[in-house]
Structure formats: C-alpha cells, structure tokens
Structure 1
Amino acid sequence: MIERTIIFELAIATAAALGATAAVLALRRAGLRALRTLADRTEGKVDDLALEAFRVPSLLWGLALGLYIGVAMVGSLPPRIVELINDGVAVLLVVSVTLAVGRFLAAATRTYADRLGVEVGVTGLTTGLVKGVVYVCGALILLNTLGISITPILTALGVGGIAVALALQGSLANLFAGIHLLVEKPLRVGDYVKLESGQEGYVTDIGWRTTRIRMLHNNMVIVPNAKLADTILTNYHLPEKRMSVLIPINVSYACDPGKIEAILVEEASSAIGHVPGLLAEPAPFVRFIPGFGESSLDFTLIVQVNEFVDQYLVQHELRKRIFTRFQKEGIEIPFPQRVVHVHPAAEGGSSAR
C-alpha cells in the first residue's frame, strides 16, 4: 500500500513538473520574442550577444524550474527523492548558467576587445581561455553545491599536475607558446606574414595548439605554436601595412639617365588614383641603382603601396605603362650583350682561346 502511494505521488509530481515546464517554456518563448523586439530597437550589441548566449541555456532553466515546482506541489515525497530532485535542479542551473556566461563573455570579448583597448589579440585561444576560466569556476561551484569538498581535489590536481605536464609536454609547450604570441604580438589575426621556411599568407587564427595561415592561393598552412614562436618570420603589417615596392628598370647605355628618371616618375605619378593600392605619399622616386650593368643602365623605381598584396597589381600596371612609354619615346630595353675580341694567331703558333 505504501509503495502504491509513493508511485501515485511520483506520478502526480511528474505530471505537475511536466505541466509547469510546459508553462515556463511557453513564457520563455514569449519573453524571448519580446526581448528580441526590444533588442532590435537598440544600437548596441550587448543585448544581442546576451540573447544569443542565453537562448539555449534558458531551456535548462525552464526544465529546472518545472522540476522545482513539481516537487513543491507534492509535499509528501520521501526525503531521499526530494534531495535527488533538488540536486538535479541545482546541477541544471549551475551547468546552464556556466555555459551561458562562458558563451556570452567569449562573444563579448571578441566583439568589444578593440573598443576596450585590450592589448591581447582576440583569437581562438583568447576565447578558449575565457571559456576555460568560466567553466573551471562553474565546475568548482557545482562540486561545492553537491557538498563535495574541493580541497582534496585541488590537492590531487596539484600532485597529478606534474604527471600530466610530463605526459603533455608538447601540447603544453604549444599552449604557452600561443599565450606568448598573444601577449608579445609578433603577429596578429589579419597580418600578412612570411615564415623562415618560405610559406606566407594571412594569419586567420591563433589557437591553443596551432596557428592557421591562409596562403594567397587559398590553401591553409597549420603551424604548431611552439615552432612558430622559435622561427624567424617577417610580418608585412608591422609596424604598419604601408610598404615600399622596388621595381627594377633596365635601359640602353645610349639613353640619358635624367630623361629616364623623369619618365619613370611621371608614369608612376600619373597612375596614382587609377591603380588600386598605389599611394601618393610618399611620392614615387627613382634611384640610379644598381647603376652600370653589363649590358644596360639599371634604375630602381620606388613606390608606396597600401599593403603587401597590392604590389602585384601595382607592378603589373606600372610595367605596362612604362613599356608603352618607352616604345613611344624610342627607348631601348637591351638584351644581354657581350663583346668578344678575336686576336690573330702569332706566326708559328695557334690563336689564343
């Protein structure tokens, strides 16, 4: 008879919990719609980020509230069952709040890092560290809520951490190398870099283990952080994106150097505003360097471009303009030439070779 009573009370509690959960979820849906309408009217992104982060965890909140209401409506359940249900509600609340806060802080860090003047670049490693801190705090709160002492756990983790560190030397080396890259900032997401090994491209992300570099032909180079921290790299976006481009020009020895210099500067200057990426300041200029070549007079045209990849189109267009102008002016671009002197053979001997 007692067992039937308990089963009957559990059935009532379950029905009450399901009904309360359905009602709470209906209220949640209406509330989210109202909040979305309100958020669309504001210019800031904090409310949008909060709605996106708390949308899924709010389902767990509705379930937890439904369970709590169901238990509260039936007051004669055995204490052990009530305790288990309350622990389940506590677990749902702590887990859902932890997930929501972690997602919100990661999204807010990614969105507002530049506005807040955060020195550390926002990458996958940055958001991962933010979530990791929140999740660890949530796990400690959950253990404390369940009545589990965290002091022995922390002690065991301190002792076991040595063994874990030895077993994961490579992963930890990459992790701390990634943190070093974020703090020192030799490269940032969006920078164009060239590695000592020759690969070059745009940095797309710095993760906890690897850094991803997208090459110009749309392939991805994945470099371990520890190796990247030890290699020599060239960052074409530091200290600024603007850079000089040196274009070698060779002409015949019969040409006037002053005239060549004037033509090159004129053509480069006239292309400003018409060739994307070509900058007006500093103005284009020419140097008679390397100077006297084996078959030609060698000049160098120096122009400024907005960033590294702009140099390809700029060189393409300037060379076309210069070649057309040289043809119009009758300026020769010489082929390699060699002068061979042949001496007659001495009497009684053979010719010198």
Structure 2
Amino acid sequence: MNRALTWHDLLIAGAAVVVGLGAGLLLRLALRWLGERATRTRWGGDDIIVGALRLIAPWGAFALAASAGAAALPLTPTVGHNVNQTLVALLILAATFAAARVIADLVQSVTLSRSAVAGSATIFVNITRVTVLAIGVLVLLQTLGISIAPLLTALGVGGLAVALAMQDTLANLFAGVHILVSKTVQPGDYIRLSSGEDGYVVDINWRNTVVRQLSDNLVIIPNSKLASTIMTNYHRPEQQMSLLIQVAVGYGSDLDQVERVTKEVAGKIMSEVAGGVPDHEPLVRFHTFTEAGIGFTVILRALEFGDQYLIKHEFIKALYGRYRADGIEIPVPGRTVVIRRAEDTAALAEDTAALAEDAAAIPRQRREHAPTRQEQKG
C-alpha cells in the first residue's frame, strides 16, 4: 500500500520541476548565444542544428523535471507508468519534430545551394518532412505498446484505394520528382513551353510548377503537363545565350566598313552594358540581297535570357548613331505607285478586251484549218 502524500513530497517535486525548468531556460539562452556564433560561419548546417536544439531543449528539460518530480511523489505503479509513458511520448514527439526540421532544412539548404533560388524545390523538403514524421509516429506507437503491424497492413490495403482515387495527384507528384531528378528543369531556369508560356521557374512542389513571367505574373503548370510537353530551357546546358540581331544597309555602302564599324559598336556594348559577355567576339554575317538593301546578322552574347533586352536596346541606339556619324545608309523600304488617268484606263481596258478576243479566236482558226479524216487517209 502506498504511503500518504506529505508536504515534504510536494516540496521535493516542486523543487525538481523548478530546477528542471531553470536548466531548460539556461540551456535555451546558451543555445541562443551559440546560434549567434553559428550565423558567422560559412556553413549553414550549424544554424539548422542549433535551431533544432533550441526547439527540443525546453521540452527535454520539462520532461526530465516532470519525471524527477513524479519519482518523488508516492504514486501507484499504474499512475507512475502512465506518467512515464506520457513523458516518453512527449520526448519522442519533440525529437521527431526536431529531426524533421533538421533534415528538411538540410535538404532545402542543399537544393538552394544548387539552384540559387529562394523557394527552391519544396517537393523534396515536403517528402523528407513527411517521411521523418511518419517514422516518428511509428516509433511512438511501438513505444506505447501499440502494434504497428496491423496498421501497416491496413495502410497497404488502403493505399491501393487511395492511389486509385488520387491518380492525378500521384501523377503530378512522381512527375515532379522525375523532373528534379533528371535535372531537365531546376528552380531558377528560364523555360518556354510549346503552348507559349514562358518565365523563370520559381518552385516545383508536390503538385505544380510555378513559373514567374517577366511581367511578374505567375503561371501554375501541373507537373504531369510539364513533363509531357515540348519545352525549351534557356539555362541548359548553360545560362549564356547568343543574340541574333537583324540589320540592313543600303546597296551603296562599303561592306568592309560596315562590318568593321558594326563590330566596334558590338564590342563596346559587350564590355559596357550589364549582362554582356566582355570576352565574346561579336560576329557579322551578310546573308541576303533584299529589295531595300543588304541584310546581315550581328551575333552578340548575353549572360542569361533576361539580359538580352537591355543589350539589344543599347546596341540598336549605339549602332544607329554610329551609322549616321559615318555616313552609312540605313535603307528605308519603298514601293512604286503608278497612277493612271481615266483615258489611260479606258485604253487599257480596250487593249485587254482585244487580247481576250484574239485569244478566243485562236482555237476556232485551228479547227477551221485542221484537215478532215478523209484528207488524212488520202
């Protein structure tokens, strides 16, 4: 039979709880100081670990304090067992959440370092977090004496029904994983679909791919659609891209001078305009005799897709000014318009009618002069 509860027991239990909570507070302050030091390091993993420890430290201190306080009280074996089980469950949950946070943040840090885009591919982060939480729940159930074998069996049978009911969702999930694993598209890439949508990939989550257009509008594309469509990735195999700018000069221009002047202007643009590639040697290729002049292509280089617009803008302005200064003619398309008087139009109509009458008379004359069958036999 258990002894009666005394004031001495309550004092010991209260002191244990206070000491435990005080230790938890001191530990949290120490971890905060350690976190400030961790932010000064280059590796981001220490920040993640310290953050997780700050999450679990108060709960661990509370569980230890409560366990010590419960040990000082005259509890029945059943109550003591239940208290211990509750504290163990609390510790397992805290450890599970801390582990899920650490592992998910590490995965996010890795994907962020590879894609260099805030928001990155959250599909891997979510899968990692759900997996760790599921393992923690199974460990908790097993610790509490609940058999997980029937639960796993039920999940296996029910999973088939869930898979049939969520075909589209699962298709998008696996398509998103396939896209990221195959590295055909990564967050930060500039893509253009065969349907015309284009923009920077902001995020690839478990269901959709988010694309931000240059107008700052968001395009939401299901992962299964993105995996099956024809797509151009302007950041693969490298971000740098060539710019083809069409130009024309008059027929009276000296083509050697045109090529030299154009290269000088293009080289200056490559060196001075943000987004240009300074070590790229611009190319000029003549290709067409047009109605107005001689057409050619100027080949420049941009660091990435979004830089091309400023480069084209500055190049056209600089080239136009240089052509005007050097007297190089920029052709203007023209058309010759013939205006006829009324009497000329009437005469033209009479001539056209006469030609039509003569054309109709030719077959008749051929039939009249053609020999008969008797003449052919004779």
Q: Which moved more, 1:335-344 or 1:223-232?
A: 335-344
Q: Report SS of the residue matched to 1:153.
A: helix
| Residue 319 of structure 1 pairs with residue 312 of structure 2 | no
Q: 1:38 to 1:318 in 2, by over 3 A?
A: closer
8 A Cα contact 1:345 1:351, kept in partner: no
Matched residue, 1:65: 64
Give ranges in structure 2 of 5+ residues lacking alignment. Answer: 353-378
Task: Give the distance between the partners of 1:211 and 1:250, measured in 2 at CA.
Answer: 42
- Distance apart, 1:150 and its partner CA: 0.9
Task: Give the distance between the partners of 1:337 and 1:42, measured in 2 at CA.
Answer: 67
1:11-22 equivalent positions in 2, closer than 5 A: 15=14, 18-22=17-21
Matched residue, 1:242: 240
- Distance apart, 1:33 and its partner CA: 4.2
Task: Give the distance between the partners of 2:6 and 2:193, measured in 1 at CA.
Answer: 70
Q: 1:125 to 1:340 in 2, by over 3 A?
A: same
- Distance apart, 1:348 and its partner CA: 8.1
Matched residue, 2:46: 47
8 A Cα contact 1:9 1:77, kept in partner: no
Task: Give the distance between the partners of 1:338 and 1:94, measured in 2 at CA.
Answer: 84
1:165-184 equivalent positions in 2, closer than 5 A: 165-184=163-182
**Given the alignment, which residue of 88, 107, 121 partners 1:109?**
107
Q: 1:40 to 1:280 in 2, by over 3 A?
A: closer
1:71-86 equivalent positions in 2, closer than 5 A: 71-74=70-73, 76-86=74-84
Q: 1:9 to 1:230 in 2, by over 3 A?
A: farther
CA displacement, residues 255-294 of structure 1 (integer Å, 9 cap, x when unaligned) = 23332222211211122321112213441011113x1223
Task: Give the distance between the partners of 1:348 and 1:176, measured in 2 at CA.
Answer: 74
Task: Give the distance between the partners of 2:348 and 2:43, measured in 1 at CA.
Answer: 100
Give ranges in structure 1 of 5+ residues lacking alignment. Answer: none
- Distance apart, 1:10 and its partner CA: 9.7
Q: How many residues align?
A: 347
| Residue 196 of structure 1 pairs with residue 194 of structure 2 | yes
- Distance apart, 1:59 and its partner CA: 2.2
- Distance apart, 1:317 and its partner CA: 0.6
Matched residue, 2:364: none
8 A Cα contact 2:275 2:304, kept in partner: yes
8 A Cα contact 2:201 2:211, kept in partner: yes
Q: 1:141 to 1:346 in 2, by over 3 A?
A: same
| Residue 328 of structure 1 pairs with residue 325 of structure 2 | yes
| Bigger helix share | 2
CA displacement, residues 85-144 of structure 1 (integer Å, 9 cap, x when unaligned) = 11211111111111111111122223346889xxxx962111112212211211111111
Matched residue, 2:153: 155
Task: Give the distance between the partners of 1:220 and 1:115, measured in 2 at CA.
Answer: 23
8 A Cα contact 2:190 2:305, kept in partner: yes
Q: 1:39 to 1:347 in 2, by over 3 A?
A: closer
8 A Cα contact 2:96 2:132, kept in partner: yes
Matched residue, 1:297: 294
Q: Report SS of the residue matched to 1:298.
A: strand
Matched residue, 2:129: 131
Task: Give the distance between the partners of 2:160 and 2:189, measured in 1 at CA.
Answer: 37
8 A Cα contact 1:24 1:65, kept in partner: no
Q: 1:48 to 1:333 in 2, by over 3 A?
A: same
- Distance apart, 1:233 and its partner CA: 1.4
| Residue 145 of structure 1 pairs with residue 146 of structure 2 | no
- Distance apart, 1:23 and its partner CA: 2.6
Task: Give the distance between the partners of 2:299 and 2:93, measured in 1 at CA.
Answer: 60
Normalization by structure 1: what TM-score?
0.87
Normalization by structure 2: what TM-score?
0.82
Structure index of larger Rg = 2
Counterpart of 1:322, as a letter, is L
**Given the alignment, which residue of 257, 260, 273 partners 1:259?**
257
CA RMSD across the alignment: 3.1
- Distance apart, 1:26 and its partner CA: 2.7
Task: Give the distance between the partners of 2:320 and 2:42, measured in 1 at CA.
Answer: 53
8 A Cα contact 1:20 1:70, kept in partner: no
Matched residue, 2:356: none
Matched residue, 1:164: 162
Counterpart of 1:79, as a letter, is P
CA displacement, residues 53-80 of structure 1 (integer Å, 9 cap, x when unaligned) = 2212322212211221111112x21222
8 A Cα contact 1:245 1:311, kept in partner: yes
Counterpart of 2:67, as a letter, is Y
Counterpart of 1:167, as a letter, is A
Task: Give the distance between the partners of 1:13 and 1:165, measured in 2 at CA.
Answer: 55
8 A Cα contact 1:189 1:205, kept in partner: yes
| Residue 339 of structure 1 pairs with residue 333 of structure 2 | no
Using the aligned pairs only, state the percent identity. 40
Counterpart of 1:152, as a letter, is P
- Distance apart, 1:307 and its partner CA: 0.9
Task: Give the distance between the partners of 2:241 and 2:305, measured in 1 at CA.
Answer: 7
Q: 1:10 to 1:348 in 2, by over 3 A?
A: same
